Structure 1
């Protein structure tokens, strides 16, 4: 009965998060669901507090990165990115697509996938309208790279932060191990999406002369310093969250002084309701795990760090992401593979980051993207899945192969 109640609560929370009636925050249902499970003694108060305590540093880090991304937008970083796109579009949509891939991959890796979906995608859509070209190839590039290009840094995705904590790796070691999977994912996505949209990309863009856009040098310098701070903090044994907070303070003070941002605007960027949702979802998933799902899932997962085992783990993670969303999937799988070692943890990460490109259910970022592009292009579930079927299998296999290579080169200790 306890497992049944926990699974029912998880299903209700996930369905509400996907549908979001009246655009209500996900926490509206997640908070009562977590409270119900605690009240019914499906999960104890101590277990719930332990899970919240484990997630709090990760959630705090995510909040800082979200605010940093919003400050970059306020300082004109994404407007400048749009200008770079326009300059490279002269005579060729293929060059435009390559530029968007580069910018989207960098944005996702440094500022997280939410920045790519919420801040960069509108710029890409506006650029497509300006250049009078089909929006689909370029919009799908941001959708797919928001997931698959989030493999590189621990800060690129909430799933990465969770895996980073579990794997026990340094920032540099994590990045070194995920470098080849990241490059493989981007290369496969570019080749396949260029083939899928070859007819749309054949149209020549209409490029008009544009006024020069100011390059936000200070914001880019602060962003670079923050990224370096992530590495230095990790090397010194401190949480990279301190570097993110430093970047927010420096860039925030300047942006507020110039009246480009407001305190209310930045507090909104932290998306506190979503952070609460993550904490409550952790409690709900923990209730499912302690009542038997963990034991049921364990035989399904391969063991070891051979290439076939890593492929199997990533495949299970990808399938589970498309059944229950990638955030619950990573919360379920990480405790099961933690004892196997960092290789298995990173294989799970590849599965939950690349797999969501298959369906809208795969990640909350997909649902955000659908809302952003709805007015500019048709992006139904069948179309999204059709394109995902073209990219996900090859991307998953080659990224796991890249991980196996970096494991041979850099090891896990």
Structure 2
């Protein structure tokens, strides 16, 4: 969701997916009526949220909110590397839950990597912690992941009902994620660092308004306000303040038009595939096993990306029903920790790591994912049944 425009692989992704979405409509492979229903009626509220939360997160970053949060973690850690690891986990979890997984991947990643360089700490454990939690901590609220927004739309349940159902799985997923990575990097996460000095924000007004807008946004969504409306209101407030006190930060690049086109293309392409038999095939493969549906969703997410995997598997669930929907979400949200294209957030994260001179080979990323992701998935699935 919230993301600067990324070069390289993402350029190819948005072009291919956008072209595919246009092609299925132009050729009539997806009937015009169905294309309007999916591409406009269903997609517009999701895309409106995507745009608004991107603007909100980008301006909050420009105001120094994420830098201040990371520095606060370092000061609160009092020089203990293991404690700092835990505090960064709390920050990444809170950012993912309240501001979406892509905000964590794109805006928190460079902040955390800059902090590790400043404190002379190994960046790899912290980089992986951020992207793992960007995925595994995206279960609790509808705004944490686009798949959740789609599930809320499909099931027609309230935000509190959704959060109540996902609370225990979310707790299990975060705990196992942090525990696994802490054990994996136990030899690296030792020693101490020099506690950094407090650095006040450049503009206290934009900083304060941005913090209040972010908190108010999450509170409004939790209270039942439509996510797109809450995000638009919060972004509008911050935009107004920046128009007066920080106009240099207002640029067209704030708007994630490539991600919007990619998401719209995915909506149309996957719907066309579902209309031509993909939905029936996935339903038959998943059977009636909750764990089977979760595993299939995780595998599909790693093969084709989590958003199309969710859209395809959702067709097996009757509209207005939540039965089976949460099992699918566990797979599509937690599962994409093996392939880097499993979620757009991971591609964005990899780009931010490269910008900092840190390259994580896809093979190593996959090996770590295969070793730990099944435990997170199984733990969250078991907690869902409690």
RMSD: 2.0
- Residues 345/261 of structure 1: CA separation in 2 closer, same or farther (3 Å cut): farther
Matches of 1:200 and 1:133 in 2, distance apart? 9
Kindly report which structure 2 residues correspond to 1:394-413, keeping only aligned pairs within 5 A, or say none. Answer: 394-405=375-386
Alignment-derived partner of residue 245 in structure 2:
258
For residues 136-185 of structure 1, the C-alpha deviation after alignment (integer angstroms, 9 at most, x for no partner) is 11110101011111111101111111111112110111111111111111
Matches of 1:378 and 1:168 in 2, distance apart? 42
- Residues 131/169 of structure 1: CA separation in 2 closer, same or farther (3 Å cut): same
Matches of 1:66 and 1:126 in 2, distance apart? 22
Contact conserved, 2:303 with 2:339, CA < 8 A, in 1? no
Correspondent of 1:384 among 338, 362, 365: 365
Structure 1 counterpart SS, 2:291: helix
Contact conserved, 1:310 with 1:343, CA < 8 A, in 2? no
Matches of 1:368 and 1:103 in 2, distance apart? 19
- Residues 209/108 of structure 1: CA separation in 2 closer, same or farther (3 Å cut): closer
Contact conserved, 2:97 with 2:139, CA < 8 A, in 1? yes
Correspondent of 1:246 among 219, 222, 233: 233
Structure 1 segments, 4+ long, off by >6 Å, are none
CA drift at 1:262: 3.7
- Residues 28/63 of structure 1: CA separation in 2 closer, same or farther (3 Å cut): same
Contact conserved, 1:192 with 1:390, CA < 8 A, in 2? no
Alignment-derived partner of residue 23 in structure 2:
36
Kindly report which structure 2 residues correspond to 1:252-401, keeping only aligned pairs within 5 A, or say none. Answer: 252-259=239-246, 262-264=249-251, 267-303=252-288, 309-338=289-318, 341-374=321-354, 375-401=356-382
Q: Does 1:228 align with 2:228?
A: no
- Residues 88/387 of structure 1: CA separation in 2 closer, same or farther (3 Å cut): farther
Contact conserved, 2:158 with 2:224, CA < 8 A, in 1? no
Matches of 1:255 and 1:339 in 2, distance apart? 41
For residues 17-60 of structure 1, the C-alpha deviation after alignment (integer angstroms, 9 at most, x for no partner) is xx975753644233332232233332212221221021111111
Matches of 1:92 and 1:43 in 2, distance apart? 57
- Residues 370/44 of structure 1: CA separation in 2 closer, same or farther (3 Å cut): same
Alignment-derived partner of residue 53 in structure 2:
65
Matches of 2:296 and 2:145 in 1, distance apart? 19
| TM-score, L = length of structure 1 | 0.86
| TM-score, L = length of structure 2 | 0.91
Matches of 1:21 and 1:155 in 2, distance apart? 27
Q: Which stretches in structure 2 are left out of the alignment for 5+ residues?
A: 1-5
Bigger Cα displacement from structure 2, 27-36 vs 144-153: 27-36
CA drift at 1:400: 1.4
Q: Which stretches in structure 1 are left out of the alignment for 5+ residues?
A: 1-18, 304-308, 406-413
- Residues 195/294 of structure 1: CA separation in 2 closer, same or farther (3 Å cut): same
Bigger Cα displacement from structure 2, 212-221 vs 344-353: 212-221
Bigger Cα displacement from structure 2, 86-95 vs 313-322: 86-95
Count of residues paired in the alignment: 375
Correspondent of 2:172 among 165, 178, 184: 184
Contact conserved, 2:154 with 2:321, CA < 8 A, in 1? no
